[in-house]
Structure formats: C-alpha cells, structure tokens
C-alpha cells in the first residue's frame, strides 16, 4: 500500500520457498530504467529464450481496463460474461499481433487477457529486438523458474479445535461462511476435501495452471487457506474469517520439489482477474527478487496486482524470507490502495528477524505485521502442520481483509531497527 517487482515464494524457512538475496547490478538497474527489456532476476534459473510480453491496454484492452471501478461486475455471472467477451476480442488482437511478428503459435506458452494483456513465448534475439521497437509493447521480461525447497514441518492428525496464537494476535476469529466474497489462494493448490475448509471446487473457479486438478499434494497452499479461513467446527484450528470460501489457483505442480515459471504464476493471477468481484481477497504468499532499488513501473507483477486492486479486490502479499529490505523484492514492493505487504513476528509479538524481510523507514513497503513463526494450520491429506515464514503471516491479513472489507485495525506495534510495524487486527 505504501509508496514504494522479479518473481520468491515468500514461504517459511521451514517448509517454504527459499529466497536468494539478489546482488545489486548497476548495469541491470540502468537497463531496467532505460529499456523495455527488464533484466533477469538473480538467484533463479533463467528459462533460456522465453519471455513475458506486456501489451498496452490501448492496443489490446484487458478485462480490468474494461471493468473500471465504476463499471465493475456486481455478480460472478456478470463478471464471467465480461471476461469471456473480452477474452474473445483480446484473443483475436493478440493473435494478429503475434502473427505480425511471425511468432509461431507453438512457441506461445501463456496468453493473458484479464489482469493485463500480453503473452509469454519463446522468442529469438531478433524477435525481442523487434518487439522492443513496437509502441504497443509496454515491457518484455525474461521468464524464470521459481523453485520450492523441501523443508521441515510437524504434521498432526485431526484434533479438537484450538485457536492458534496468530489468530488471537489478529483479534480473534469471526464467521466468514455467509459472505458472498471469496479468498483466492494462488499457491500449490488446496486440499479439496479437507474437513476444516470450505473449498470452492467447481470450474471455472478452482483451477490448476500446471495440469491435473487443483488438489494440493504439497501442503503450503492448504496451510495458507486454513489460517485465513478454517471453519469454526470444533475440529483442528479456526481461521480469521472462519468458514469463508477459499478458492485454489494451483501454480505449482510437484508434491516434493515444486517449481514453476513466473509466466505460470502470472497466469494464476490473471485467472483471478477473470472471476473476482469487489471485496474478494487474493493471498499471494509468493513473489521473487528484484534487481534494483525500486519497483519497476512496467513489470507484469506490478501491473497485475495494481489492476486487481483498482477494481475492488484486496491483495495480501508476503514480505519475503531473506531478512533483507522488502523494497528490493516483488511483488512485496508493490504499492496500491488495496494492496498490503505483510512482515512476520513471533507469537510473543517480536519481529522475526532471523528470516522476515523488513523496511528501512516508515515509508514502506511493509504495511502490517502478523504472526508467521510456528503457525499451526490445515495441511494436505486432511492433516495439520506447523510452518514458519512470511507466507504464514500473510493469510492472517487476508482473513482480516475478507472479514472487514477494509484495511486492518491497529493492534499495536512491533519495533525493529528503528521502525514500528503495525500489528494487523480484525
């Protein structure tokens, strides 16, 4: 939200994505500022010859540009019609655009119609140079592979309901089961039949962008869903917005060592933009390192998240687990009215300095802090697990946003290195 984007799954140090601290490269910063071609982030595997191309809304209108705040859909059905109509029109325009540059359809990996307009494709150096000169091209980003590292967690079988300390620190829980708005979990999927979750399992909403079903065989996405919205049913745990509908958008496939191109993660965000309505919440316990000192004004992460925010959807983003300045990471550094970045604290309300990204002044980009250390929540195969990371802190705030349809209240503060972090409270 504050003033202040390349792809870390800001998951826990234990049972989470591991972030690699980027080294600032002055040449990369210069190219980032002076060219449409954004630099590849350090610390990730570059997918050689594959790029994400963002087109201007003037050339190819995205659903979000058509659905302005004043004209946004009021129902899922209305939103579905708007998205389908726009995808048909934009699809024709993108097809004509790629044909103009003789980009073969077999080389196109993803097409984006909703959060922004564009495509991901295998491109030659000559094609990249030609696209850079096109006035309708906003940016061209190298595609990278985001990897999930194996970690530790305590897995438990179903048990009598308890209220984790993170929920208490967030001001307790409230009923979210009757709300018409949803919490979208862009992650490893969700355990579709977990007894403690109210999962939206039907198409076209629940989706896997990596093949198969949206079921979670890793556990991370299910853990986030439980903190935000586990049922108040006497079983296991309870979430902040208890019983709220959670929607899986699976962007990571493997059960043991998941990895995914950033283009696929962006496709998951684009999917939400096709089906969200005002008051929905998106939980992004993910992201990546940014090589430079400021967010790009043209990155597809920034465009996607900002466009969701502009039409009434709340976005909660993990600050990251590198114990570094969050301003150097995206999407954590994104600033928009309904976008909040979340740092992590322990149950005793002390800053999780061993892993949580931080900020160097009250200017940002972190908006709130929530409990992320040793968080008990729902897990794969109907079980429960304890995980740690800013990924675990973020869904506390997602639940608050869903419950309030407003920014969190001030639940006090946590001081660290001269900065006071506001504790998010329901």
Q: Which two tokens stand for residue 405?
A: 């349809």
402 assigned to active site: no
C-alpha distances (whole Å) from 313 to each of 69, 287, 374, 426 are: 10, 18, 29, 18
d(CA 1, CA 310): 12
Largest CA distance in the chain: 62
SS3 (DSSP) at 376:
strand
Q: From the candidates 44, 220, 271, 402, give the one annotated as an active-site residue.
A: 220
Q: Please answer whether residues 100 and 60 qualify as being in contact, where contact means their C-beta atoms are separated by less than 8 angstroms.
A: no
SS3 (DSSP) at 112:
strand
Q: From the candidates 139, 344, 391, 402, give the one annotated as an active-site residue.
A: 391
Indicate the angle between helix axes 262-275 and 300-310, nearest 10 degrees.
10
187 assigned to active site: yes
SS3 (DSSP) at 141:
strand
270 assigned to active site: no
Q: Which two tokens stand for residue 194?
A: 């977990």
Q: From the candidates 57, 187, 215, 280, give the one annotated as an active-site residue.
A: 187
d(CA 130, CA 370): 46
d(CA 356, CA 11): 10
d(CA 119, CA 421): 38
Q: Which two tokens stand for residue 137?
A: 């091209």
β partners of residue 72: none
Active-site residue list: 187, 220, 391
């Amino acid at each position: 939200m504050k003033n202040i984007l390349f792809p870390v799954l800001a998951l826990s140090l234990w049972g989470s994505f591991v972030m690699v601290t980027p080294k600032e490269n002055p040449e990369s910063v210069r190219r980032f500022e002076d060219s449409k071609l954004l630099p590849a982030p350090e610390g990730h595997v570059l997918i050689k010859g594959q790029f994400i191309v963002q087109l201007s809304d003037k050339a190819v209108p995205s659903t979000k540009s058509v659905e302005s705040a004043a004209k946004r859909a009021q129902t899922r059905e209305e939103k579905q019609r708007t998205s389908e109509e726009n995808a048909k029109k934009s699809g024709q325009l993108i097809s004509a655009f790629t044909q103009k540059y003789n980009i073969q359809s077999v080389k196109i990996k993803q097409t984006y119609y909703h959060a922004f307009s564009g495509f991901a494709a295998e491109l030659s150096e000559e094609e990249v140079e030609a696209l850079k000169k096109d006035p309708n091209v906003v940016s061209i980003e190298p595609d990278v592979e985001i990897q999930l590292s194996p970690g530790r967690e305590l897995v438990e079988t179903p048990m009598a309901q308890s209220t984790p300390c993170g929920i208490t620190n967030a001001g307790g829980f409230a009923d979210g089961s009757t709300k018409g708005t949803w919490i979208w979990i862009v992650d490893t999927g969700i355990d579709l039949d977990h007894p403690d979750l109210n999962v939206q399992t039907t198409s076209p909403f629940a989706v896997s962008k990596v093949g198969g079903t949206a079921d979670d065989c890793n556990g991370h996405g299910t853990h986030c869903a439980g903190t935000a919205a586990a049922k108040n049913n006497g079983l296991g745990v309870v979430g902040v917005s208890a019983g709220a509908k959670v929607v899986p958008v699976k962007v990571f496939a493997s059960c043991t060592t998941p990895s995914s191109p950033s283009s696929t993660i962006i496709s998951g965000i684009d999917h939400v933009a096709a089906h969200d309505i005002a008051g929905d919440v998106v939980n992004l316990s993910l992201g990546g390192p940014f090589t430079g000192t400021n967010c790009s004004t043209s990155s597809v992460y920034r465009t996607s998240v900002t466009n969701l925010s502009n039409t009434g959807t709340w976005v909660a983003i993990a600050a990251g687990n590198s114990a570094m300045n969050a301003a150097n990471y995206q999407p954590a550094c994104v600033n928009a009215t309904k976008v909040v970045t979340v740092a992590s604290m322990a149950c005793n309300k002390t800053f999780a300095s061993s892993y949580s990204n931080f900020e160097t002044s009250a200017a940002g980009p972190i908006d709130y802090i929530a409990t992320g250390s040793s968080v008990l929540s729902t897990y794969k195969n109907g079980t429960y697990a304890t995980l740690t990371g800013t990924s675990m802190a973020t869904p506390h705030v997602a639940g608050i946003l869903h419950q309030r349809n407003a920014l969190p209240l001030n639940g006090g503060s946590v001081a660290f290195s001269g900065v006071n972090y506001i504790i998010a409270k329901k």
